[in-house]
Amino acid sequence: MSKTVKLKKGFDIKLVGKAEKQILDFQPAKTFAIKPTDFPGLQRPKVTVNEGDTVKAGTPIMFDKAMDRVQYVAPVSGEIVEIKRGDKRKLLEIKILADSKISYESFDKYSGSTLQSLSKEDAIGQMTKSGVWPQIIQRPFGIVANPEDTPKAIFISAFDTNPLAPDYSITLQGEENNFQAGIDVLSKLTSGKIHLNLNAEGETPSVFSNIKGVEVNKFSGPHPAGNVGVQIHHLDPINKGDIVWTVSPYGVCQIGKLFLEGKYDASKIIAVTGSEATKTGYFKTYVGACADTLVEGNLKQNHIRVVSGNVLTGEKISKNGYLGFYANQITIIPEGDYEEFLGWIKPSTTKLSFHKAIGLLSFLNKGKEYVVDTNTHGEERPFVVTGVFEKVLPMDILPTYLFKAIISEDFDEMEELGIYELIEEDVAICEFVDPSKNELQGILRNGIELLMYS
């Protein structure tokens, strides 16, 4: 039964630099990279190619020894130019010099009618060998799903409330048939429901209209209303022993395209955002693209930080770094490596803050957009119990006590306080408002790994 959920807790981070609704004409990236660090839970990556090898889009380039059925594949065709390793030979990235024209590995094609007769085993077989399986994320733990498991339900968040989030009506334009085909394939993988969660306050993009085989729910409220973890909590909470899967709208379309066209198509439209970008908008590229062509010549100043993703959960990369596997935007903001005398206590009319004593205009002018940098305006200090986390996290969880349980490695308390319902993106807003400046996303991941590997 469909639900409409109205959330009051949360905080919208309104920044300057939202993507203009235009397709930008940047030079295409020449190199692309797959980074094992993009996949939480990937334990022992095994490289299956060598430097100098030529690959097609969809050619396997690595797998996880702990789950060797799932292949991680090349997003483009070209030459393997570097297999970069760090300390103790840890695999950092596999870099590909792309061909001017992409060629593809061939997989089985299905029409709309033959998709209906597709078996679960055949669906999983094609998805795991072709490279689309990593689009399916397991909750709890936020790791690539195990194809041997059967989830009780699958959840898709069809809107994004993160800062400067891209517009799905642009990034998924014309993907209606692929999205429906992706839903048809995913329906083979669970006996439960597929939940498609829409924004109750905005116009629904056409790609999500008239979709069959899903239960449509609507959510309203400030960020993190668009986080799939928050939506799961209000629709069908995760208890110990439960397994649910989540898929992004892009991931659903990519799965559908694999079965309709018989190829692994890693093309995607990403948003170029941020206050320090001269031009903002949208750009068509491929998964793992080098950011150099998006950054060079597109800066208002040079002292900046480039983020693969959004400012809350994204990864800092260099100007010639590579977009993450799951990133759907690149954000360019000022670097904040400076000291400010009493910066944590001085009231200001130019700062964005959840705390009224500091960010006065954040509350007097709720529609104002702000230029923010990376400065934390304070040092890390012991936890201060202020109750602020409970004001921005719309879940029946006590975050402060959960973080303390993780730090003290109290497994029973972690489970009782709801760690199975959370991954990093769910507590990112807590990290933003935290007066103690703790790296809460890192603390949570440490707790998750303690439970996973204990």
pLDDT tens track for 381-398: 777 778 899 999 999 999
Residue 39 belongs to domain with CATH number: 2.40.50
In a domain, 224, yes or no: yes
Burial of residue 111 (number of CB atoms within 10 Å: 0-12, 13-18, 19+):
exposed
Domain match, 152 and 91 both? no
Q: Contact 265/257 with Cβ under 8 angstroms? A: yes
Q: Which of 261, 285, 315 is the last residue of a domain?
A: 261
In a domain, 271, yes or no: no
In a domain, 209, yes or no: yes
Mean pLDDT of 265-279: 97
Question: How far, in Å, CA of 222 to CA of 394, rounded?
Answer: 10
pLDDT score, position 127: 98
Domain match, 75 and 160 both? no
Question: How far, in Å, CA of 402 to CA of 444, rounded?
Answer: 9
pLDDT tens track for 92-110: 999 999 999 999 999 999 9
Domain match, 74 and 138 both? no
Q: Residue 113: pLDDT band by 50, 70, 90 thresholds? A: confident
Q: Which of 80, 98, 116 is the last residue of a domain?
A: 98
Residue 1 scores a pLDDT above 90 = no
Domain match, 132 and 255 both? yes
In a domain, 446, yes or no: yes
Residue 240 scores a pLDDT above 60 = yes
Question: How far, in Å, CA of 298 to CA of 66, rounded?
Answer: 42
Domain match, 123 and 206 both? yes
pLDDT tens track for 130-175: 999 999 999 999 999 999 999 999 999 999 999 999 999 999 999 9
Residue 362 scores a pLDDT above 60 = no
pLDDT tens track for 47-82: 999 999 999 999 999 999 999 999 999 999 999 999
What is the pLDDT of the chain when averaged over all its residues? 93
Q: What is the pTM of this model?
A: 0.95
Give me the percent of the chain exceeding a pLDDT of 90.
84
- Helices 424-433/440-453 angle, 10° precision: 150
Residue 179 belongs to domain with CATH number: 3.40.50
Q: Residue 342: pLDDT band by 50, 70, 90 thresholds? A: low
Question: How far, in Å, CA of 279 to CA of 275, rounded?
Answer: 10
Among candidates 72, 47, 45, 69, which has minimal Cα distance to 58? 72
5 strand-pairing partners: 219
DSSP letter (8 states) at residue 278: S
Domain match, 250 and 173 both? yes
Number of structural domains the chain divides into: 3
Question: How far, in Å, CA of 175 to CA of 254, rounded?
Answer: 9
Give me the percent of the chain exceeding a pLDDT of 70.
95
In a domain, 330, yes or no: no
pLDDT score, position 345: 61
Q: Contact 230/224 with Cβ under 8 angstroms? A: yes
pLDDT score, position 383: 78
Residue 364 scores a pLDDT above 80 = no
Mean pLDDT of 2-9: 95
Residue 198 scores a pLDDT above 80 = yes
Domain match, 225 and 87 both? no
Q: Which of 261, 288, 314 is the last residue of a domain?
A: 261
Domain match, 117 and 224 both? yes
DSSP letter (8 states) at residue 230: H
Question: How far, in Å, CA of 162 to CA of 327, rounded?
Answer: 12
pLDDT score, position 381: 76
For the chain, the helix, strand and coil percentages under 3-state DSSP, each to the nearest 5: 25, 25, 50
In a domain, 445, yes or no: yes
Domain match, 61 and 158 both? no
In a domain, 222, yes or no: yes
In a domain, 88, yes or no: yes
Domain match, 72 and 207 both? no
Q: What's the token pair of residue 348?
A: 């200001």
Domain match, 142 and 91 both? no
Domain match, 160 and 194 both? yes
The contacts of residue 325 (CB under 8 Å, 6+ apart) are 34, 35, 38, 39, 134, 287, 288
Q: Residue 202: pLDDT band by 50, 70, 90 thresholds? A: confident
**356 vs 255, higher pLDDT:** 255
Residue 357 scores a pLDDT above 70 = no
Q: Which domain, by its residues, includes 157?
A: 107-261
